[in-house]
Amino acid sequence: MRRHPRGFSLVETMIAMVLGLLLLAATTRLFLLQRRVFRLTDALGRLQETGRFALELLARDVRMAGLRGCAGSGPVRIDASPPAAAGFPGTAVTGHEGGAAPDRLTVRRAATRAAPLARDMASPWSPVALAANPGGIGHGDLVLVADCAGADVFRVTSDPPRRGAASLAHLATGNRDARLRAAYRRPVTGRVPGARVSRLLVHRYSITDTGRRNPRGGRVTALARNGHDLFEGVETMQLRFGVSRAGQPVRYLPADRVTRWKGVVAVRVGLLLRSRAPLRSDPDRRIYRVAGTRVGPPGAGTPVHHPADHRLRRVMTATVALREPELP
């Protein structure tokens, strides 16, 4: 007698379907969990990377504040008008207390790329001649010419080529007068150290609104230098300035309490970074301490606020000593 193959019963089929659905649900949940962990890890990594690069840039600039080439402790005459470099090199670092807004930082220094004079100046009124223009010095730029006896800061009134030989005029149309401190000489190997020329950099750091929006429509901010966005995702910058007096320990003060910028020997920079996408499951109501300033959500009683949104935040801080501070 032949037997026909027997299939699954309805109960067995339903049990198999339920087990399959449970397995599929567990797999889906695991996938979503892993995806969320990946997004969180990626966002935290980006915050860490952005903060590290931003602090490295700021630290490098602050560390070299007041750089004046071979002039060392010699006199530096400011000829440029208007005096964008006023106070240089003594007030190489200055700040502005933002109150409820982010603080602002200004750094003044000479560029590290310097070009030697191509020939001696006939007189203090003569143009400064360069065999090459590695810094791309152009019309209207602030320039530092320095030898081991002193330096001048002047505004270029000629229109030199950005590459190759250049002649830098310093007429009274862009300066207080056309006369420099001295007639600078070109370097002579083994005999005369001579003078070198570099751009004078005035870097102003602030937090700006990029004009872009995140996925939820919120504004995107960035750390900017001279109005140009550098690092997106920096929400606020808070500063403390290390002030030293003879025989006293260094005290870190906000900008509005610094009475003598020549006494600043270090700068403490604190950045609060936030993710572009909302990744938190609950609103961020945490109070952060950024370089000594408390930053919290509205209603927390802190001097500076951050939105109680769902974005991730991270604080990064660095304390940078000036290489050649002007001690009292």
| The pLDDT of residue 327 | 42
Q: Which residues contact 88 (CB under 8 A, 6 or more apart)?
A: 66, 68, 76, 78, 108, 153, 200
Does residue 88 contact residue 108 with C-beta atoms inside 8 Å?
A: yes
Q: Going from the first residue of the chain to its last (328 residues), give the mean pLDDT of each consecutive group of 10, the final group possibly shorter.
A: 64 78 80 73 86 95 86 79 71 90 92 90 94 87 89 92 90 90 83 83 93 79 94 94 83 92 92 89 92 93 91 94 64
Distance (Å, rounded) from C-alpha 301 to C-alpha 136? Answer: 49
Distance (Å, rounded) from C-alpha 194 to C-alpha 75? Answer: 16
Chain position carrying tokens 């961020």: 284
Query: Whole-structure pTM over 0.85, yes or no?
Result: no
In three-state secondary structure terms, 136 is coil
